[in-house]
C-alpha cells in the first residue's frame, strides 16, 4: 500500500462551496484547482481540512468528473484545536475509489473568509490494521532541520540526521514530524523525498512545544496515520538518507522528524 500525500491551499472568502487551488507538485500534474489522479494511487486513503486563520470551517469534499456523488467530510480542524490530527479522516483500511487520469478537486464551505489547507492521501490500495501491526521494526532514527518554509507551497527541507545506519536497505514503517511556530498552531504536512522513488508518503505536522525540544503527542500514531505497513517501494539505502518536503501555513523554521524503520536487505 504505497501512497502519496498531495495538498490544496488557498486564502479566500468561502461563504459558498468553493474550490481550493492545488499546490504545485513535482510528481503530480497540477493545473489551477485540479490535481490529476495517477493510475498507481487510485484511492482516497485519508483527508484533512484545516482552517488556518479562523475557526469557521463547515465541511470539505472531493469531486471528480466521473464521481457522481462527491466524498464529503464534516470532520476538520481549526485554530482552536489542540492538534491538527483532530480533523484527520483515516481511511487507510477502507479507502474510497477514485478515477485515475481524471482531475481531483477539493471544495470547502466556511462561514467567513478563511485560509484553507486540504490534504489528500492517495493510495494504491487498503492497509489493514493487521498489516500495520505485523511489521518488524529494527531501527528508529531522528533528525532536524532549520529551514524557513514558504507558506502554501511544498518546500524542500534537508534533514540533518542524528544517527548513522549500518549498511543495508531500510523500509520506512512510521514517520512523525514536528514543527515549531512561536504563536499559534503549526498547521501543515510533511512528506518523504527519497532518492530512487517518486512515491511521496507523508503525515500531518505535529505542533512542537519548543525549538527541537518536544512535540505534542495527544493521539496514538496509528490513528494519526503515522504508522505504516511494510512498503518495499518506500525504502532507501543506508548512504542515501531521505529528506522532506513540507507544506505549511506559515514561515516556520524549526523542524524535527522521527522515522521507524525495518531493515529489508
pLDDT higher than threshold 90 for residue 224:
no
Enter the CATH code of domain 132-263: 2.60.120
pLDDT band at 236 (very low <50, low <70, confident <90, very high): very high
CA 85 to chain centre: 11
At residue 180, the pLDDT reads 81
Cell of 50: 484545516
C-alpha to C-alpha distance for 92 and 3, rounded to whole angstroms = 10
Write down the H helix ranges in 37-99. none
pLDDT higher than threshold 60 for residue 45:
yes
Enter the CATH code of domain 3-128: 2.60.120
**Intra-chain end-to-end CA distance of the chain, in Å:** 20
Chain-wide mean pLDDT for the chain?
A: 89
Cell of 119: 490534504
pLDDT band at 76 (very low <50, low <70, confident <90, very high): confident
pLDDT band at 84 (very low <50, low <70, confident <90, very high): low
Are 252 and 180 in contact by the 8 Å Cβ rule? The answer is yes
Topology match between the domains 3-128 and 132-263: yes
Alpha-carbon separation of residue 253 from 146, 160, 210, 220, 250 (angstroms): 5, 14, 12, 26, 9
Q: pLDDT: is 44 or 59 the higher one?
A: 44
Q: Residues 176-182: what's their mean pLDDT?
A: 83
pLDDT band at 131 (very low <50, low <70, confident <90, very high): confident
Alpha-carbon separation of residue 130 from 12, 30, 89, 228, 230 (angstroms): 41, 34, 19, 11, 11
3-state helix, strand, coil in the chain (%, to 5): 5, 45, 50
pLDDT tens, residue by residue, 8-17:
999 877 678 8
Give me the residue spans of the domains in the chain: 3-128, 132-263
At residue 219, the pLDDT reads 43
pLDDT tens, residue by residue, 17-32:
899 999 999 999 999 9
pLDDT tens, residue by residue, 188-220:
899 999 999 999 999 998 877 766 555 555 444
Alpha-carbon separation of residue 121 from 75, 86, 201, 202, 260 (angstroms): 15, 16, 8, 8, 20
Which pTM was predicted? 0.93
pLDDT higher than threshold 50 for residue 132:
yes
How many C-beta neighbours within 10 Å does residue 58 have?
Answer: 16
Amino acid at each position: 500500500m504505497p501512497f502519496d500525500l498531495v495538498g490544496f491551499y488557498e486564502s479566500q472568502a468561502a461563504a459558498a462551496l468553493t474550490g481550493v487551488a492545488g499546490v504545485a507538485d513535482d510528481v503530480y500534474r497540477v493545473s489551477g484547482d485540479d490535481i490529476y489522479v495517477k493510475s498507481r494511487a487510485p484511492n482516497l486513503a485519508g483527508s484533512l481540512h484545516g482552517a488556518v486563520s479562523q475557526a469557521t470551517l463547515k465541511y470539505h469534499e472531493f469531486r471528480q468528473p466521473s464521481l457522481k456523488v462527491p466524498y464529503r467530510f464534516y470532520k476538520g480542524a481549526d485554530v482552536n484545536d489542540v492538534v491538527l490530527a483532530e480533523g484527520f479522516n483515516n481511511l487507510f483500511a477502507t479507502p474510497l475509489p477514485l478515477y485515475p487520469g481524471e482531475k481531483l478537486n477539493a471544495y470547502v464551505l466556511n462561514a467567513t473568509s478563511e485560509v484553507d489547507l486540504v490534504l489528500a492521501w492517495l493510495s494504491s490500495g487498503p492497509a489493514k490494521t493487521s498489516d500495520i501491526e505485523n511489521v518488524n521494526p529494527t531501527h528508529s532514527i531522528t533528525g532536524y532541520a532549520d529551514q524557513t518554509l514558504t507558506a502554501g507551497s511544498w518546500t524542500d527541507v534537508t534533514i540533518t540526521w542524528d544517527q548513522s545506519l549500518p549498511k543495508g536497505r531500510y523500509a520506512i514503517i512510521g514517520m512523525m514530524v514536528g514543527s515549531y511556530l512561536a504563536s499559534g498552531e503549526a498547521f501543515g504536512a510533511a512528506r518523504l523525498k527519497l532518492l530512487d522513488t517518486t512515491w511521496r508518503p507523508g503525515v500531518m505536522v505535529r505542533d512542537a512545544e519548543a525549538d527541537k525540544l518536544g512535540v505534542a503527542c495527544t493521539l496514538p500514531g496509528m490513528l494519526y496515520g503515522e504508522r505504516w505497513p511494510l512498503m518495499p517501494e518506500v525504502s532507501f539505502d543506508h548512504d542515501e538518507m531521505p529528506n522532506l518536503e513540507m507544506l505549511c501555513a506559515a514561515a516556520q523554521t524549526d523542524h524535527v522528524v522521527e522515522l521507524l524503520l525495518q531493515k529489508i536487505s
